[in-house]
Structure 1
Amino acid sequence: MSTRILSTSPLVGPALAELGARFPELRLASFRSPEWNAALPGAEALVVMLSEPITEADLDAAPKLKAIGTYSVGVNHLPVKACQARGIAVVNTPGVLTDATADIALALLMAVTRRVAEGEALVRSGQWQGWAPDQLLGPALAGKVCGILGSGPIGQAFARRAWALGMTPMFWDREGHGGVVAFGAGKAPRLPLPGLLSRSAVLSLHCPLTDQTRGMLDRAALEQLPQGAVIINTARGGIMDENAAIDLLESGRLGGVGLDVYEGEPRLNPRWLQAPRTVLLPHLGSATTETREAMARLLCDGLASALG
């Protein structure tokens, strides 16, 4: 029996196995492995992870392909326009990971500003000598501006969390239309990027990686942030110039950085490993059991529709 569904990994929950039973045969093979390459020409549907880029050459090698499903919201690793031109459906998982991703952004914000990782490491080192007046001090958040790049569901969910901490959310005005964003707990203004950056004690990234946003936070943009500002990125690594951010951390210009995503991940800029006042996570944004099961179900339902 030929492979109809070719997946690079199992998914959380039963959805993928159920899809395979409905449209046999399902094959699991590591991305770019000999097994994957051998099965590609007969595949009608692919399931890939966000770190596994599909090219137009792959589409050429898969003449039976009807759909590509990615276990992510982002599709910047897929040749979307080429798929559209060939009538290949692109299936992703929007909506179901909103709260999980906003939660991890909040966790990073608290970990950076309250120096949680440093404190935990101090206790485990066995060198902690007890409470001290100036031990591991960090900035307060209440009363400060939280700039948010991205006013979609995740950006709005994070705004509600920032608002609950007593911060004032403000959004980037990507379209240049001005106005406000009703984020569920209140309304927040949309500002041009320079105006947003200059006000933001915290800057949290929640926008997709596109031609418009790639490299948007370059050195000149980062230098517009207030002294001691904190950056949180749970969106995509290519939005921010990582070397510029590390330079500003080392100089003391930035107060801290919390990352769940990296440019070129899982490869990591080695400078991050020594950068001060950073908290680094291995892309945990959607990593709750409930969220990953919901993502799998949404993905497999979309593939089932494409396969008919």
Structure 2
Amino acid sequence: MSIRILATSPLVGPYIGNLGLRFPELCVVPFRSPAWTAGLATAEALVVLLSEPLTEADLELCPNLKVIGTYSVGINHLPSAYCQQRGIRIVNTPGVLTDATADLALTLLLALTRRVSEGEALVRSGQWKGWATDLLLGAGLSGKTCGILGSGPIGRAFARRAWAIGMKVFFWDREGNQSPVDFGVDIAPRLLLDDLLRQSSVLSLHCPLTDSTRGLLSREKLALLPRGAFLINTARGGIFDEEAAMDLLNQEKIGGIGLDVFENEPALNPKWLEAPRTVLLPHLGSATVETREAMSKLLCDGIEESLRGASE
């Protein structure tokens, strides 16, 4: 039997199984396994994860390919220009993970500023001696400024959460748009990047990784942050200079860093493991049952629509 849909994972929920009932030529095999490579010759649809980058060379082995489904919002792991040239549709999963990712960004911020990891470690160590006036003093957020890189759905959702705890919100837009941002409960200005950085007690990243945002926050840009600022990233690794950020952290010019994503993950820079005042998570932004099931449904619906449309 020729493989029509080649997937690398069963995903969360019943949706890829249901897709297999409608398209019996669906095969789930590990990414880059011999079976996966063999299936490329007849595949009309590929389903991959964010951690499974495809190259133009891969797609050249797929003469019948009509659609690629990625279990993510981001598509920086796919050769988008080549897909457009060949008329290959890319189906991703925007929208459904907005709240889950914004929730996690707020979780990182609160865990970092209130020193949650250190507090739990102290209790678990058995060394806690009781309440003390100066025990693990953190940083308050109400009345402080929050700069948000990216004014898309996740950036706006995080803004609502920051606003709810009393922060003043600013945005930066990668397309240079300077009009104010209506984020649902208030309207916030868009600033030029340098101006935003200079005012951000908290800087939260919510922009995609593109040619224009890769390395956006260089050592010089990060140095513009106020002393003691907190940096949160639930977007993509590669947007800021990790070595520079760690240097500024060690010099106490940055107050703390909360990360859910890393450059070259999962092979993160080992210096992060020793970095002070950090909270590090294993890319959990969309990791709720409800969100992952919604992503599966959106992805599988898009694959089915693409294949049925191509056959009509």
Three-state SS of the structure 2 residue aligned to 1:103 is helix
Q: Is the 8 A contact 2:160 2:183 kept in 1?
A: yes
2-side partners of 1:177 and 1:38: how far apart?
Answer: 46
Q: Is the 8 A contact 1:4 1:26 kept in 2?
A: yes
1-side partners of 2:131 and 2:210: how far apart?
Answer: 47
Match of 1:32 in 2: 32
Report the Cα offset of residue 244 of structure 1: 0.7
Distance change >3 Å, CA 3–CA 173, structure 1 → 2:
closer
1:97-246 correspondence to structure 2 within 5 Å: 97-246=97-246
1-side partners of 2:45 and 2:173: how far apart?
Answer: 37
2-side partners of 1:174 and 1:29: how far apart?
Answer: 38
Is 2:62 the counterpart of 1:62? Answer: yes
Three-state SS of the structure 2 residue aligned to 1:162 is helix
Three-state SS of the structure 1 residue aligned to 2:189 is strand
1-side partners of 2:108 and 2:40: how far apart?
Answer: 39
Q: Is the 8 A contact 1:146 1:202 kept in 2?
A: yes
Structure 1 unaligned segments of length 5 or more: list them.
Answer: none
Q: Is the 8 A contact 1:174 1:192 kept in 2?
A: no
Match of 1:17 in 2: 17
Is 2:282 the counterpart of 1:282? Answer: yes
1-side partners of 2:42 and 2:178: how far apart?
Answer: 50
Report the Cα offset of residue 173 of structure 1: 3.6
Three-state SS of the structure 2 residue aligned to 1:239 is coil
Q: What is the percentage of aligned positions where both structures have the same residue?
A: 70
1-side partners of 2:91 and 2:179: how far apart?
Answer: 32
Q: Is the 8 A contact 2:46 2:68 kept in 1?
A: yes
1-side partners of 2:206 and 2:306: how far apart?
Answer: 29
Deviation string, structure 1 residues 87-122 (Cα, Å, up to 9, x no partner): 111000000000000000000000000000110011
Three-state SS of the structure 2 residue aligned to 1:106 is helix
Q: Is the 8 A contact 1:49 1:70 kept in 2?
A: yes
Three-state SS of the structure 1 residue aligned to 2:40 is helix
2-side partners of 1:2 and 1:123: how far apart?
Answer: 57
Structure 2 unaligned segments of length 5 or more: list them.
Answer: none
Report the Cα offset of residue 269 of structure 1: 0.6
Report the Cα offset of residue 3 of structure 1: 1.2
Deviation string, structure 1 residues 108-153 (Cα, Å, up to 9, x no partner): 0000000001100110011111111111111110000000000010
2-side partners of 1:220 and 1:250: how far apart?
Answer: 16
Q: Aligned letter for 1:240?
A: F
1-side partners of 2:35 and 2:135: how far apart?
Answer: 55
2-side partners of 1:204 and 1:19: how far apart?
Answer: 37
Match of 2:299 in 1: 299
Q: Aligned letter for 2:168?
A: T
Report the Cα offset of residue 199 of structure 1: 0.2
Report the Cα offset of residue 36 of structure 1: 1.0
Under a length normalisation based on structure 1, what TM-score does the superposition of the two structures give? 0.99
Match of 1:272 in 2: 272
Three-state SS of the structure 1 residue aligned to 2:262 is coil
Q: Is the 8 A contact 1:250 1:275 kept in 2?
A: yes
Q: Is the 8 A contact 2:174 2:213 kept in 1?
A: no
Report the Cα offset of residue 179 of structure 1: 2.3
Report the Cα offset of residue 283 of structure 1: 0.5
Deviation string, structure 1 residues 70-98 (Cα, Å, up to 9, x no partner): 00000000011111111111000000000
2-side partners of 1:100 and 1:21: how far apart?
Answer: 30
Report the Cα offset of residue 201 of structure 1: 0.2
Backbone CA RMSD of aligned residues: 0.8
Report the Cα offset of residue 177 of structure 1: 3.6
Three-state SS of the structure 1 residue aligned to 2:264 is coil
Report the Cα offset of residue 26 of structure 1: 1.5
2-side partners of 1:272 and 1:149: how far apart?
Answer: 22
Q: Is the 8 A contact 2:4 2:42 kept in 1?
A: yes
Q: Aligned letter for 1:226?
A: P
Three-state SS of the structure 2 residue aligned to 1:123 is helix
2-side partners of 1:141 and 1:22: how far apart?
Answer: 51
1-side partners of 2:202 and 2:147: how far apart?
Answer: 6
Report the Cα offset of residue 175 of structure 1: 3.0
Report the Cα offset of residue 274 of structure 1: 0.3
2-side partners of 1:172 and 1:14: how far apart?
Answer: 39
Q: Aligned letter for 1:110?
A: L
